[in-house]
A and B are shown apart, each in its own frame.
Chain A
Amino acid sequence: MKQKNSKLIKILYGLIIGFLVYFILLPVMSVIVYGIKSENSLFFSMKGLERSLGYLKNSLIVSFSVTAIATCTGVMLAFTLNRIKFVGRGLLKLLVLLPFVNPPFVGSISYIMLFGRRGLISNKLLGLSISPYGPWGIVVIQVLGLSSLAYILIASSIKKTDTTLEAAARNLGANENDILRSITIPMMLPEISSTALLVFLASMADFSTPLIIGGNFQTLASDLYIQITGLFDMKSAAVSGLILLIPCIAAFVIQKYHLQKKSYFTEETLSSSIEYEEINAYTKFFLISFTAIFISFIFIKYFFIIVGAFTKQWGYNYTLTFSHVNELIGKQYKPFINSIKLAFITASLGSFLGMLIAYLIRFKKLFLSNFVDFAATLPAAVPGILFGIGYLVAFKYPILGIGKWIFTDIKPWILLGTGSIIYLIMIARFINTGLRSGYALLEHINPDMEKASYNLGAGEIETFFRIMAPLMKDAFFASFIRAFTSGMITLGAIIFLLMPSNKVAVQQIFQVVNGGNIGAGAAISLTLSLLTLFLLGVFYTLFNIVEYMKVIKRNKDRLNIWK
């Protein structure tokens, strides 16, 4: 039986399509057209093409290595931390999340201080003198950061594992290896492949790590930044951007349409029941020590940033000082407020829109749903810095970009130069986070639940808020948290759109680190991390208080019934 969609749904859907076309497709198309149109760009000289292809090769080498290592690490971490019981697990689970609230620039510097030619560990401790600059530096830094992303994504699916299937196989006499290979991993495959995709895309889009630690090994993304800031050439930057876009879109399409997702209807399982009861002692030992070592690397890196913030000259003179922090206190706090505002607003709106789109596409069977899905996920495939250039190119004309041809004199409608442009680009980017979170959840929800509600006479809106919203709120919160955290440290997408009046903290860090004042950079970045952590704690508490109140209320209601 097919449910007819109401007018409200259709109007909403139309608005969403409008938003996606305007704020995602238009900028992406603009940057492509802009790149192709520029006949005097480097692209059309063989040498320019050669240059870009060289950088493409570098990008791919780094990204493939990072994807392979980080995804495997993520899987291992997720298994160890969620399915094996051991002492200290809680602490490790917490520490593995550190890179999430860590602005990337100082991480790279921390690495140079530790493992550089005159680094603390490599040189002072081990007596080596190896240059930290180059592809492997980039790989190490990106793996340390992105493994946490992989861990989070995979862990969320591992918690939803239907252990009854495993138990059934076990009862039928299968050994643990076979179960892992033929049941557990295949069941998680959709999550693993989408994780690998995200890691790949994040690695391709990262411009700051190669910039700081690549040495003469630069990638397409960092070259893009250099072309604009150093060569003053946005046109050839757009061309390089096109070349960067090709593998990103390709990976995106392959993952999306060829690694078909299998869906498993499972009710939410309790996370306490997924632990392995019997596990090979060696395997257990290996997994736990691997996890511990990996996480201690993350911890050392983080700890060393703290050291940098409180010592006189990071990397050379480790005399305790509070001057960096004092300097910070005397400085403006406004960029921090701007950061919080930006991250909070865009994360909530983006997540909400994403969840809504996920719901409409999966449950409503509307026209153009493939198109909507594609448009909404596209920003994930477009490197932030390139997306930002797209906004720049598209919205410098009146009436949201199309006024290039029609309205040439109307000033107030030009988005460029208003504060809202950075909000819009971030929302456009975070829709994807909400969408993924929504899909992941809806995959585990049986659509029949909704049909049952209709059959019982509930309307569309009532069904959404009574059946779907409560089920989706965890996913919304998860998406919000992820988007908020990344919103606090996003720079690529907005770097060319910021204004003097709304500069954000991460831009300040980038600027301070650029200026060579790395101690102060460490201090600001640490402050930003702690602030993000604190806010996450606040959100988490608020969210749980609402939940808790509801439980109390429910119990009260039940008591009343009994009376």
Chain B
Amino acid sequence: MNKKKIMALVMAVMMIISLTACNSQNSATTAQTESTSAPESKAEQSDIQNDAGWYSEYYDAETMKGKTLNMYGVTDSDPILAEFTKDTGIVIANLVMKNGEILQRLINEKESGVVIADLWFTGGADTFISASQQGLLHPYKSPVGNELEDIMKDKDGYWHGTSLTLVNWVINTELIEKNNLIMPEAWEDLLQDGLKGEVSMSDPASSGTAYNTVSAILQVRGEEAGWEYLDKLIAQVPFFTARGSDPANMVINGEAIVGINASNGDREMEENNEHIKLVYPADGTGWWPQPVAIIEGTENLDEAKVFVDWILSKRGMEAYARIRNAAVARKDVEIPEGIININDINLFPVDFQANAESRDQILLDWAEHIQ
């Protein structure tokens, strides 16, 4: 008699637990908030604004402390966000996805009138441009944005660049030596015989890295010469990987000798692997800014603006440079040692607007050329 009752009870309890847990989904995030926000007094506050290298007219410590914002991005920015929380008490939960996924989500969320993310930080400039054209972003001309060069920001304030992502080559030096190859320095060097089947590159259709590389080569060399070079390059690549991060991994594992890669820092790759060297092509390379933008319709507009002001400030940029080893967008920021100096690198002149607009055509052409 009793055992059936126990069974029934167990099942009932399970269901009740389940239902309550479902409901408490949203409150769970706030609990986390409280544990991470550091207490700050009013007096300290004004110090920070004067000396700590950041200021935002929208910042109100009283009401904002302990708030949680949601963010989409393509890189794990948690250590930088932790610095932001330390300064402001605002917590940011970051969901990492691919560019296309973010764009797709924003489109869907706009259609349904739901706003999940307040901010979008890091990604390809072309996706930000596309998003601003579709009305997915909220324009905010941050006063700190004046410090940035024009090419680093949208003229209407839809997005601001925070750092530079540079196209580079990840090279397995051990295999270069072993196979008696010339250490590649210029783009033509990738065409040497010994690298046939040993160059790894991602598919421009699915990877921003490859797309920016291809479009930069086309812009710099012109349509005809550009495709001529690309045809030769395509012949060197055994297959095009789905993701931009694959080529670097393949080179590290010895599956390929040279990988076309993009990095926003990544000094660890060289530090952790004695056989790996990052090389920036001497005759120029593709690049794009890593922007930050506010999502249209956010209910936390002021807090979002505070983040934009913060990340563009001296304090934010220094934290960014230090944590990610990245070349940041502001030139007046003291750069820690070991970070690549953008003045030493030959950057392709890139037109991001054109980049975003000609995307479909370039991809169609690309599909023809790889057949």
| B26 near A419: Cβ-Cβ < 8 Å | yes
Give the nearest-CB partner of B98 in chain A.
Answer: A229
B294 shortest CB reach to chain A, Å: 15
B:1-41 near A, CB below 8 Å: 2-8, 10-11, 14-15, 17-18, 21-22, 25-26, 28-29, 32
A469 in contact (CB, < 8 A): yes
Q: Which of B89-97, B221-229, B302-310, B323-331 lies at the interface with chain A?
A: B89-97
B135 in contact (CB, < 8 A): no
Q: Which of A64-72, A86-94, A283-291, A511-519 lies at the interface with chain B?
A: A511-519
The residues of A that contact B116 with a CB separation of less than 8 Å are 417, 499-500
The residues of A that contact B239 with a CB separation of less than 8 Å are 133, 215-216
The residues of B that contact A123 with a CB separation of less than 8 Å are 254
A541 in contact (CB, < 8 A): no
Given A118-B255, A229-B99, A313-B272, also A352-B11 (CB < 8 A) = yes
Chain B CB count within 10 A is highest, among A215, A503, A514, A516, for A516
Distance A396 CA – B105 CA, assembled complex (angstroms): 11
| A515 near B76: Cβ-Cβ < 8 Å | yes
| B114 near A414: Cβ-Cβ < 8 Å | yes
A442 in contact (CB, < 8 A): no
A470 in contact (CB, < 8 A): yes
| B108 near A511: Cβ-Cβ < 8 Å | no
The residues of A that contact B248 with a CB separation of less than 8 Å are 516
Give the nearest-CB partner of B18 in chain A.
Answer: A345
Looking at chain B, what size class is its interface with the partner chain? 35 or more
A173 in contact (CB, < 8 A): no
B196 in contact (CB, < 8 A): no
Given A117-B255, A396-B111, also A516-B249 (CB < 8 A) = yes
A428 shortest CB reach to chain B, Å: 14
Chain B CB count within 10 A is highest, among A113, A348, A414, A501, for A501
The residues of B that contact A316 with a CB separation of less than 8 Å are 252-254, 273, 275
| B96 near A511: Cβ-Cβ < 8 Å | yes
Given A116-B255, A546-B6, also A232-B104 (CB < 8 A) = yes
The residues of A that contact B111 with a CB separation of less than 8 Å are 396
Distance A470 CA – B68 CA, assembled complex (angstroms): 47
Give the nearest-CB partner of A113 in chain B.
Answer: B253
B109 in contact (CB, < 8 A): yes
A211 shortest CB reach to chain B, Å: 5
Q: Which of B138-146, B203-211, B278-286 lies at the interface with chain A?
A: B203-211
B113 in contact (CB, < 8 A): yes
Given A313-B272, A470-B7, A499-B116, also A211-B100 (CB < 8 A) = no
B336 in contact (CB, < 8 A): no
Given A396-B112, A500-B71, also A226-B253 (CB < 8 A) = no
| B32 near A334: Cβ-Cβ < 8 Å | yes
A263 in contact (CB, < 8 A): no
Chain B CB count within 10 A is highest, among A411, A419, A512, A518, for A419
Chain A CB count within 10 A is highest, among B238, B241, B249, for B249
Give the nearest-CB partner of A342 in chain B.
Answer: B21
Looking at chain A, what size class is its interface with the partner chain? 35 or more
A:429-488 near B, CB below 8 Å: 465-466, 469-470, 473
The residues of B that contact A218 with a CB separation of less than 8 Å are 242
| A500 near B94: Cβ-Cβ < 8 Å | yes
A57 in contact (CB, < 8 A): no
A407 shortest CB reach to chain B, Å: 11
Distance A344 CA – B97 CA, assembled complex (angstroms): 25
A:272-320 near B, CB below 8 Å: 312-313, 315-317
The residues of A that contact B242 with a CB separation of less than 8 Å are 211, 214, 218, 222, 226, 230
A82 shortest CB reach to chain B, Å: 28
| B253 near A352: Cβ-Cβ < 8 Å | no
Given A352-B15, A419-B25, also A234-B114 (CB < 8 A) = no
A493 shortest CB reach to chain B, Å: 15
A132 shortest CB reach to chain B, Å: 8
Distance A411 CA – B113 CA, assembled complex (angstroms): 7
| B93 near A215: Cβ-Cβ < 8 Å | no
| A420 near B25: Cβ-Cβ < 8 Å | yes
| B15 near A349: Cβ-Cβ < 8 Å | yes
Distance A500 CA – B97 CA, assembled complex (angstroms): 10
Given A131-B255, A466-B4, A496-B105, also A313-B273 (CB < 8 A) = yes
| A501 near B75: Cβ-Cβ < 8 Å | no
| B93 near A500: Cβ-Cβ < 8 Å | yes
Chain A CB count within 10 A is highest, among B114, B127, B273, for B114
| B206 near A229: Cβ-Cβ < 8 Å | yes
| B26 near A553: Cβ-Cβ < 8 Å | no
The residues of A that contact B273 with a CB separation of less than 8 Å are 313, 316-317
A:334-367 near B, CB below 8 Å: 334, 341, 344-345, 348-349, 352
B72 in contact (CB, < 8 A): yes
| A348 near B18: Cβ-Cβ < 8 Å | yes
B327 shortest CB reach to chain A, Å: 19
| A230 near B14: Cβ-Cβ < 8 Å | no
Distance A124 CA – B146 CA, assembled complex (angstroms): 56
A414 shortest CB reach to chain B, Å: 5
B173 in contact (CB, < 8 A): no
A549 shortest CB reach to chain B, Å: 8
Interface string of B115-158 (1 = CB under 8 A from A): 11100000000010010000000000000000000000000000
A381 in contact (CB, < 8 A): no
The residues of A that contact B363 with a CB separation of less than 8 Å are 231
The residues of A that contact B10 with a CB separation of less than 8 Å are 546
A498 in contact (CB, < 8 A): yes
A416 in contact (CB, < 8 A): yes
A204 in contact (CB, < 8 A): no
Give the nearest-CB partner of A501 in chain B.
Answer: B29
Cβ-defined partner of B238 (8 Å) among A131, A345, A512, A546: A131
Distance A194 CA – B269 CA, assembled complex (angstroms): 47
Cβ-defined partner of A418 (8 Å) among B8, B25, B269, B272: B25
A228 in contact (CB, < 8 A): yes
The residues of B that contact A118 with a CB separation of less than 8 Å are 253-255
| A349 near B4: Cβ-Cβ < 8 Å | no
Q: List 26 A-B contacts (CB under 8 A).
A: A116-B254, A116-B255, A123-B254, A131-B238, A214-B242, A222-B242, A226-B205, A229-B100, A230-B205, A230-B207, A231-B206, A312-B272, A315-B253, A331-B78, A348-B14, A392-B108, A414-B113, A417-B112, A417-B115, A419-B25, A469-B8, A500-B93, A500-B117, A516-B248, A550-B3, A550-B6
Chain B residues within 8 Å of A, Cβ to Cβ: 2-8, 10-11, 14-15, 17-18, 21-22, 25-26, 28-29, 32, 68, 70-72, 75-76, 78, 93-101, 103-105, 108-109, 111-117, 127, 130, 203, 205-207, 238-243, 245, 248-249, 252-255, 269, 272-275, 363
Chain A residues within 8 Å of B, Cβ to Cβ: 112-113, 116-118, 123, 131-133, 211, 214-216, 218, 222, 226, 228-232, 234, 312-313, 315-317, 331-332, 334, 341, 344-345, 348-349, 352, 392, 396-397, 411, 414, 416-420, 423, 465-466, 469-470, 473, 496, 498-503, 511-512, 514-516, 518, 546, 550, 553-554
Listed from nearest, the 5 A-B pairs whose CB atoms lie closest are A230-B206, A419-B25, A118-B254, A216-B239, A396-B112
Since A229-B101, A232-B103, A550-B6 are in contact, a sample of 9 more A-B pairs with Cβ atoms closer than 8 Å, ordered by chain A residue number, is A116-B254, A118-B253, A228-B104, A313-B273, A315-B253, A396-B108, A417-B115, A418-B25, A499-B70
